[in-house]
């Protein structure tokens, strides 16, 4: 555990990053839920790149599309909520990264492909989606939820035997 | 640090006695909860802002004391949903009932949407039952397949309701005629859903630019199109299949036909009717005349005639005798390529107007012919924007052929319309029900448009030029 020591400032930085990403997810979810009849169909149909066929196929099957829409709206909402709260942080981060990976795959900034959605910058292989995936990867492998987050309470409650753990062993933070 | 570690170490002595968490765990564990409060506040602010924007567009502030109008939606499919979205925020409009035969899917979805918006609509499968039970509904918005428009509209009018009926008014002229007559007999309002008639930009172009400023001069030719990309037949979730006997009762042979009725003879009219009627209606409006003749070429060139009975491609030329003189108008609709989307272009001897319902795809511009009188006056009055300066390159102008016209100046039309396309037309209907406005597309106009458009299918079939008699456009 010694090599995993973090200062409080480093832990707070992780928490802030987690909350910011959570906010982004949560509002993407809420905005879709608030629209009377939101559907991913247009986005899926406009997909580019090697996976485009798969996305178009999803859009063309009404049954599948219903599920895609539901999973997308509520997935964004719940992952956002959990990231902000620091609840099941690791699973939320992995789930979030997988979702964003799908968005990345729908419009990959590969050489020779042009994005079908408006972009405000210039990207080569790496775009903001990939950066967010990277950030979620960091969240997934650190314990910011056990530092600030509901995971801390659950960890304390359900790991009584390990009650001896100190703050630094709990999260890796030096106190 | 040591204090905390000491405490932890102290607790290890008898962990069963102590609770697993302490005050600090609780505080740190819930430290991000206030973020949710902030989030909720921000979302609330954002939603209020969006509502205020819409309210401003709709003039809700002045409209808040308007009396409530109770309506029903008959037909909750794709177009019903479009109309519903446009109705949701119309002030003092109560959506009290929804009727659709696809009860497990369309009806359920629309009821759920309405519940989100704090409506509590009564669901119906049978429109007669709805008309019998919902006595206090004043108006019905109809978005059923074309071949149901006439029976639905006539039944609603006779039940004492005002009606907003989607275009095409009917798939047959007899149907359309029965609707006009029913509206006349009952004295109830019948608005046909040619929503461009209420679009502020179209109204501005007609009233200000064409009529008042006469910027186009005499309109001699028109063209327009609706090009659409290849689309597969519409599917449906298998578990929501409507039983065969119920489909039969409502005039459909199969679920496939129910979903794709627009393509079947006897149910719809094909793309020329679905898409063309919106734009050909504008031809009649802006040219201030009904056509005198039509030639058309079309056919089922691409799709299987098994599932697409109507023509996937149609190219049409109308001849008009306008108050200003002769005019010819070309229209094309095809469903195999989407290039340049949809627009209408009116070409006069002094200018050209390119207009489209779609703000995103079209600049909505007006071009002055170089030989026309200057438009400075209208630019100063703000009727059109100052022209875009087109630089002529030296070497290019040097070789400019004398037979080639210099390209005209481009002016923009200063009317932005960023609302849902159907909202102004529905607002016009609701305010007409309240007695505050006149219908922008009453039954008679819808009928003229139906006569104009339905003749295209006839002309394609006949393979020759067909003439319109002036009395064809009248219902007596």
What is the arithmetic mean of pLDDT over A139-150?
94
Distances B283 to A8, B133, B291, B413 between C-alpha atoms, Å: 71, 42, 9, 19
Domain count, chain B: 2
What is the arithmetic mean of pLDDT over B246-262?
96
Q: Could you tell me if B179 and B264 lie in one domain?
A: no
- Residue of chain B whose Cα is closest to the Cα of A25: B39
Q: Could you tell me if B443 and B329 lie in one domain?
A: yes
pLDDT band at A167 (very low <50, low <70, confident <90, very high): low
Tell me if residue A149 falls in helix, strand or coil: coil
**Confidence check: pLDDT of A161 > 60:** no
Residue A158, pLDDT score = 82
Residue B28, pLDDT score = 92
Q: Could you tell me if B175 and B214 lie in one domain?
A: no
DSSP 8-state assignment for residue B265: B
Q: Could you tell me if B219 and B157 lie in one domain?
A: no
Residue A160, pLDDT score = 60
**Distance in angstroms (rounded) separating the CA atoms of residues A98 and A110:** 19
pLDDT digits (tens, 9 = 90+) for A98-144: 999 999 999 898 888 777 777 778 888 999 999 999 999 999 999 99
Residue A62, pLDDT score = 81
pLDDT band at B9 (very low <50, low <70, confident <90, very high): very low
Residue B159, pLDDT score = 97
Contact: A163, B11; criterion CB under 8 Å: yes
CB A137: neighbour CB atoms within 10 A? 13
What residues of chain A have any CB closer than 8 angstroms to a CB in chain B?
Answer: 15, 19, 22-23, 26-27, 30, 34, 36-37, 60-63, 66, 81, 84-86, 147-153, 156-158, 160-161, 163-167, 174-175
Omega prior to B168 cis, within 30 of 0? yes
The boundaries of the domain holding residue B467 are 197-390+410-473
Q: Could you tell me if B281 and B297 lie in one domain?
A: yes
Residue B179, pLDDT score = 98
Of A84, A158, A161, which is closest to B35 when you measure between CB atoms?
A: A84
**Distance in angstroms (rounded) separating the CA atoms of residues B356 and A101:** 37
**Distance in angstroms (rounded) separating the CA atoms of residues B190 and B165:** 7
Q: Could you tell me if B244 and B296 lie in one domain?
A: yes
Q: What rounded mean pLDDT belongs to chain B? A: 90
CB B362: neighbour CB atoms within 10 A? 16
Residues 6+ apart with CB under 8 A from B384: B209, B215, B366, B375, B378, B411, B412, B413, B414
What is the arithmetic mean of pLDDT over B321-340?
96
Contact: A36, B235; criterion CB under 8 Å: no
Residue B393, pLDDT score = 54
**Confidence check: pLDDT of B6 > 60:** no
Residue B401, pLDDT score = 58
ipTM: 0.87
Which of the two residues, A95 and A117, has the higher pLDDT score? A95
From B196, B224, B257, the end of a domain falls on: B196
Q: Could you tell me if B309 and B369 lie in one domain?
A: yes
Which H helix or E strand runs over B130? helix B127-133
What is the arithmetic mean of pLDDT over A82-87?
97
In a domain, B401, yes or no: no
pLDDT digits (tens, 9 = 90+) for B42-76: 999 999 998 888 877 776 656 667 889 999 999 99
pLDDT band at B136 (very low <50, low <70, confident <90, very high): very high
What percentage of chain B carries pLDDT values higher than 90?
78
CB B226 within 8 A of CB B333: yes
A12 CA to chain B: closest CA distance, Å? 11
What is the arithmetic mean of pLDDT over A151-165?
74
Nearest in space to B6 (alpha carbons), one of A164, A152, A158, A153: A164
Residues 6+ apart with CB under 8 A from A76: A25, A26, A28, A29, A32, A99
Interface test with chain B among A7, A12, A36, A68, by most B beta carbons within 10 Å:
A36
How, if at all, do strands B291-299 and B313-322 pair? antiparallel
Residue B398, pLDDT score = 52
From B149, B177, B196, the end of a domain falls on: B196
Chain B positions touching A61 (Cβ under 8 A) are 235
In a domain, B451, yes or no: yes
pLDDT digits (tens, 9 = 90+) for B187-209: 999 999 999 999 999 999 999 99
- Residue of chain A whose Cα is closest to the Cα of B2: A175
**Confidence check: pLDDT of B244 > 70:** yes
Distances B138 to B86, B362, B430 between C-alpha atoms, Å: 18, 38, 10
What is the arithmetic mean of pLDDT over B373-398?
77
Which of the two residues, B418 and B5, has the higher pLDDT score? B418
Of B12, B18, B25, which is closest to A164 when you measure between CB atoms?
A: B12
From B175, B196, B217, the end of a domain falls on: B196
Domain count, chain A: 1
In a domain, B269, yes or no: yes
Which of A141-155, B362-376, B385-399 is least confident? B385-399
What is the arithmetic mean of pLDDT over B277-290?
97
Residue B7, pLDDT score = 39
**Confidence check: pLDDT of B10 > 50:** no
Residue A61, pLDDT score = 84
What is the arithmetic mean of pLDDT over B299-320?
95
Residue B17, pLDDT score = 41
Chain B positions touching A14 (Cβ under 8 A) are none
The boundaries of the domain holding residue A59 are 2-171
In a domain, B41, yes or no: no
Here the CATH number for the domain that contains residue B151 is 3.40.50.720
A103 CA to chain B: closest CA distance, Å? 24
Q: Could you tell me if B314 and B232 lie in one domain?
A: yes
Tell me if residue A164 falls in helix, strand or coil: coil
CB B318 within 8 A of CB B329: yes
Residues 6+ apart with CB under 8 A from A101: A129, A133
pLDDT band at B400 (very low <50, low <70, confident <90, very high): low
In a domain, B35, yes or no: no
**B414, B420, B421, B426 alpha-carbon torsion, rounded to 10°:** -120
Q: Could you tell me if B331 and B414 lie in one domain?
A: yes
**Confidence check: pLDDT of A2 > 60:** no
What is the arithmetic mean of pLDDT over B304-315?
94
Q: Could you tell me if B182 and B265 lie in one domain?
A: no
How, if at all, do strands B325-334 and B313-322 pair? antiparallel
**Confidence check: pLDDT of B11 > 70:** no
Distances A82 to B159, B216, B220, B280 between C-alpha atoms, Å: 54, 61, 64, 54
Residue B65, pLDDT score = 75
In a domain, B9, yes or no: no
Beta strands in B17-156 (DSSP E): 69-74, 93-99, 122-124, 139-142
A26 CA to chain B: closest CA distance, Å? 9
Q: Could you tell me if B185 and B243 lie in one domain?
A: no
| Highest mean pLDDT of the ranges A35-49, B272-286, B381-395 | B272-286
pLDDT band at B4 (very low <50, low <70, confident <90, very high): very low
**Distance in angstroms (rounded) separating the CA atoms of residues B187 and B364:** 38
**Confidence check: pLDDT of B423 > 80:** yes
Count interface pairs A-B at CB distance under 8 A: 91
What is the arithmetic mean of pLDDT over B370-398?
78
Which H helix or E strand runs over B348? strand B342-348
Contact: B32, A164; criterion CB under 8 Å: no
Q: Could you tell me if B254 and B331 lie in one domain?
A: yes
Please calculate the CA angle A97-A100-A105 and round it to the nearest 5 degrees.
120
């Amino acid at each position: 555990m010694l090599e995993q020591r973090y200062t409080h400032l480093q832990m707070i930085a992780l928490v802030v990053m987690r909350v910011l990403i959570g906010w982004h997810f949560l509002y993407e979810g809420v905005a879709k839920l608030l629209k009377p009849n939101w559907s991913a169909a247009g986005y899926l149909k406009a997909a580019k790149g090697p996976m485009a066929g798969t996305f178009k196929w999803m859009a063309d099957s009404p049954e599948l599309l219903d599920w895609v829409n539901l999973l997308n709206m509520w997935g964004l909402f719940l992952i956002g909520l959990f990231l902000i709260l620091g609840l099941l942080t690791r699973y939320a981060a992995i789930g979030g990264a997988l979702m964003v990976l799908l968005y990345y795959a729908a419009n990959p900034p590969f050489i020779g492909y042009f994005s079908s959605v408006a972009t405000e910058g210039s990207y080569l292989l790496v775009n903001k989606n990939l950066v967010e995936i990277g950030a979620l990867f960091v969240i997934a492998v650190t314990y910011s939820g056990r530092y600030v987050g509901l995971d801390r309470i659950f960890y304390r409650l359900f790991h009584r035997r390990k009650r001896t753990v100190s703050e630094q062993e709990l999260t890796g933070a030096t106190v | 640090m040591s204090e905390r570690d000491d405490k932890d170490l102290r607790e290890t002595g008898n962990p069963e006695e102590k609770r697993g968490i302490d005050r600090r765990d609780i505080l740190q564990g819930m430290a991000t909860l206030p973020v949710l409060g902030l989030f909720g506040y921000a979302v609330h602010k954002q939603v209020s802002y969006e509502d205020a924007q819409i309210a401003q567009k709709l003039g809700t502030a002045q409209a808040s004391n308007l009396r409530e109008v109770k309506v029903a939606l008959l037909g909750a499919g794709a177009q019903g949903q479009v109309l519903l979205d446009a109705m949701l925020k119309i002030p003092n409009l109560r959506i009290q009932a929804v009727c659709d035969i696809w009860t497990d899917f369309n009806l359920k979805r629309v009821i759920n949407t309405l519940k989100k918006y704090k409506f509590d609509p009564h669901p119906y499968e049978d429109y007669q039952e709805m008309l019998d039970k919902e006595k206090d509904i004043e108006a019905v918005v109809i978005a059923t397949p074309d071949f149901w428009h006439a029976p639905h509209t006539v039944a609603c009018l006779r039940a004492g309701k005002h009606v907003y009926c989607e275009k095409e008014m009917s798939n047959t002229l007899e149907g359309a005629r029965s609707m006009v007559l029913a509206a006349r007999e009952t004295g109830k309002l019948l608005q046909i859903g040619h929503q461009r008639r209420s679009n502020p930009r179209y109204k501005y172009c007609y009233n200000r630019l064409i009529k008042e400023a006469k910027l186009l001069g005499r309109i001699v030719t028109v063209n327009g199109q609706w090009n659409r990309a290849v689309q597969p037949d519409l599917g449906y979730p298998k578990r929501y299949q409507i039983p065969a006997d119920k489909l039969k009762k409502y005039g459909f042979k199969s679920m496939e036909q129910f979903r794709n009725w627009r393509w079947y003879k006897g149910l719809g009219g094909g793309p020329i009717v679905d898409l063309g009627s919106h734009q050909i209606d504008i031809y009649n409006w802006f040219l201030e005349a009904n056509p005198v003749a039509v030639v058309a070429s079309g056919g089922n060139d691409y799709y299987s005639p098994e599932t697409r009975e109507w023509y996937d491609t149609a190219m049409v030329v109308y001849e008009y005798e306008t108050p200003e003189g002769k005019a010819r108008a070309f229209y094309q609709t095809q469903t195999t390529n989407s290039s340049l989307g949809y627009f209408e272009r009116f070409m006069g001897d002094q200018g050209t107007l390119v207009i489209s319902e779609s703000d995103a795809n079209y600049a909505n511009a007006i071009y002055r012919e170089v030989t026309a009188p200057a438009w400075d006056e209208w630019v100063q009055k703000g009727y059109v924007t100052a022209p875009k300066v087109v630089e002529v390159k030296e070497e290019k102008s040097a070789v400019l052929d004398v037979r080639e016209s210099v390209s005209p100046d481009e002016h923009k039309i200063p009317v932005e319309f960023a609302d849902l396309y159907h909202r102004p037309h529905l607002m016009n209907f609701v305010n007409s029900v309240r007695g505050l406005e006149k219908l922008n597309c009453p039954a008679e106009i819808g009928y003229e448009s139906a006569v104009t458009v339905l003749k295209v299918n006839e002309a394609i079939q006949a393979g020759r030029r067909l003439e319109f008699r002036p009395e064809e456009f009248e219902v007596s």
